[in-house]
Structure 1
Amino acid sequence: MTEAAVRRSLGARRPVGADRSAETVDRLDLLTEVLTPELTALTVLWLGGSRRASPQTRIAYADDLLLWAEWARRELGRERFALDLHRGEVTMWLSQQQDAGASESSIARRLSTLSSLYRYAASWGLPVLSPISDDDHRPKFRRGRRATSARVLHADDITALLAAATDVRDALVVGLLFTGALRVSELCAIDDADRHDEGRRTWLVVTRKGGESVRVPLETTVAELLDLYVAIRPPWAGTGPAPLIADANGHRLDRHDVTRLLRRLARTANIPRPEKVTPHSLRATAITDQKRRGLNAEDIQELSGHADVRTVMIYIDDDGRSERVTAITDDLGRVMRAVPRHLRRPT
């Protein structure tokens, strides 16, 4: 992948720590500002590698690397980040992350990002030694629905979030995340051109982890909200494909924007511990809701698009997939009746 292709796939974001009103900047330009020239060149090759084929994976790696560089600047006084961290410095970072209440999964992901970059550098014969120790630094946590996983709400909580919405975009974001069981990275990456209307059904082409593109059906009220939102959506202020959903300044939403939006609605809806509501909470809630309502594991895999889907789906005939997922989406859409009447299309 060329540098230009890497730049396009990374997109833009606000600088780390910048105010919400700040203009977005190409991620590659942000990396160039905080990395040494040598590490910048290596990072372009690393992010452009075939093992990081998913745009969401590249963006997550780039954002994690920006956080590492900002931490090294702030705590270690290094204006340019290089692969020269010591084991003790990573231990200091880990202690600060834990003291700040960072989840074990977030800590593990950021360590994995840095470890992957060190391994890549070593594969090129560069004299680097990873400072990350499996014994000292890797969080020991079991995967699954634990306290460190996304908080699972109830369908009634989603109804309350929708009822608290004061504009179409907020209701649309909640509806898409819940009825589509979307990852926030998938939601933010959807372009305007990824929408397709076929008869009375609207579909979105969503890029899953690993780069696979799938069609996701929209529940009827969510599709109506999308029509209303598109009519008032701010003009696209960037370059390249226009996003499906933008912020007030016409920039592509990022996961931080979505998290703030949901927590604002959660506070308005008086949902306990609103600070624990995340975009993944809506995805986890949708999956849990359907499990409780008796949906079989195979169709839950279809809805969620988990990475292990190949292992499960070999037992399922692909015929009727669209009908099954459409039925799931429509069932989840029962909460959309809570969208305030003034946000709905006149009948």
Structure 2
Amino acid sequence: MTAEPAPSDRPLIEAFLEMMAAEAGAARNTLLAYRRDLDGASETLGGRLGAAAAADLQRLADEWMPLARATVARKSAALRRFYGFLHAEGHRPDDPSDGLPRPGMVRPLPKVLSHGDVEALFTEIERRREKALPGALRLAALVELLYGSGLRATELVSLPRFALAGDQPFLILAGKGGRERLVPISERARAAVAAHAADVPRDSLWLFPSGKKHLSRVRLFQLVRELAAAAGIPPERVSPHVLRHAFATHLLEGGADLRAVQMLLGHADIATTQIYTHVDSRRLVELVNSRHPLAERTLTDAPLANPPRIDGEPRRP
């Protein structure tokens, strides 16, 4: 059951969410997450969220104690932005967010699929296509776009029916915050999409329809995990997001520029890309040792700042 904010908090929460949508360009899922956290906090405090004092925030902290550290960090972050907005807009004279808990966040390294894992997934897809199993063409198109172009799950399932028209080698997507990005589509992916699209009704609004709507993210998640299990990979290691991460990681391993990968993924901040596209540190060491201009020079090749003086020879400046 969804929490409801008290009447006294509702207009403040609505104003904050409007600001996040209009000025910060927050995506729909982000706004829904903020709403859930703020509504829940309002209900806990009996409608005193907007006017919360230190004791109220301590009450929230006590309420959150059994929750996972990541969950507490997310809730605290939502309330900090909320109180920052209230203070900036003059709805309250202070910002009490220092009283919110600050759990130490250790961001886990993303799950990584090896090239062998990806090969196993596509081998299983090809087996299904050769046997003309139901859903094989759709699954091939989905995985080609996830791994071959790095699409987010929401972007993928909501693609319009004619998103890939003719020989167009790219898509223009509006990602998080409404930011547009150009996404190159490989020949393989275009061929897979074309084969799948032949079975999609021409009057469908979606490239991946399901009933009157498009395929859901939950169903996409299930399809990818079922594929992983059939390919002999532990299903918990594979998801649409993991395939997006494999797209970026394998590009970097192949020598792609980090800025280029940032653009392909649609990240506003390259710091996100640096975490998301974790590369084995051994490869980075090898890269410096093999590609740096000084890599082929030995210490004896470099001129010395103070070369030894030969008797009778003046020291060079």
Query: Structure 1 residue 42: deviation in Å?
Result: 1.6
Matched residue, 2:117: 157
- State the distance in 2 between where 1:258 and 1:133 align: 40
- State the distance in 1 between where 2:45 and 2:201 align: 40
Change in Cα spacing, 1:77 to 1:90, as seen in structure 2 (3 Å) is closer
Say if 2:271 is the partner of 1:304.
no
- State the distance in 1 between where 2:141 and 2:237 align: 21
Secondary structure of 1:141's counterpart equals coil
Q: 1:194–1:204: 8 Å Cα contact kept in structure 2?
A: yes
Matched residue, 1:179: 148
Query: Structure 1 residue 229: deviation in Å?
Result: 3.1
Give RMSD over aligned pairs.
4.1
Q: 2:158–2:206: 8 Å Cα contact kept in structure 1?
A: yes
Query: Structure 1 residue 204: deviation in Å?
Result: 1.5
Matched residue, 2:86: 121
Change in Cα spacing, 1:285 to 1:60, as seen in structure 2 (3 Å) is same
After TM superposition, the score normalised by the length of structure 1 is 0.58
Query: Structure 1 residue 87: deviation in Å?
Result: 2.1
Matched residue, 2:32: 63
Q: Deviations over 1:186-224 (max 9, x none)?
A: 4345434543433xx442111244533233222223223
Secondary structure of 1:112's counterpart equals helix
After TM superposition, the score normalised by the length of structure 2 is 0.63
Change in Cα spacing, 1:179 to 1:108, as seen in structure 2 (3 Å) is farther
Q: Which amino acid aligns with 2:174?
A: T
Say if 2:104 is the partner of 1:139.
yes
Q: Which range is displaced more, 83-92 or 114-123?
A: 83-92
Segments of structure 2 that go 5 or more residues without pairing to the other structure are 126-133, 274-317
Secondary structure of 1:262's counterpart equals helix
Q: 1:197–1:203: 8 Å Cα contact kept in structure 2?
A: no
- The structure number with the bigger radius of gyration is 2
Q: Deviations over 1:68-90 (max 9, x none)?
A: 267569x9497x89646732344
Q: Which amino acid aligns with 1:266?
A: A
Matched residue, 2:57: 87
Secondary structure of 1:215's counterpart equals strand
Matched residue, 1:49: 22
Higher relative contact order (CA 8 A, sep 6+): 1
Q: Deviations over 1:82-107 (max 9, x none)?
A: 64673234424643431xxx7x3x65
Matched residue, 1:285: 246
Change in Cα spacing, 1:215 to 1:185, as seen in structure 2 (3 Å) is same
Matched residue, 1:325: none
For residue 245 of structure 1, the aligned residue among 205, 208, 211 is 208
Q: 1:287–1:300: 8 Å Cα contact kept in structure 2?
A: yes
Matched residue, 1:9: none
Query: Structure 1 residue 38: deviation in Å?
Result: 1.9
Matched residue, 1:10: none
Segments of structure 1 that go 5 or more residues without pairing to the other structure are 1-14, 17-30, 143-147, 313-347
Matched residue, 1:213: 180
Matched residue, 2:220: 258
Seq. identity, %: 22
- State the distance in 1 between where 2:110 and 2:229 align: 18
Q: 2:248–2:261: 8 Å Cα contact kept in structure 1?
A: yes
- State the distance in 1 between where 2:203 and 2:41 align: 34
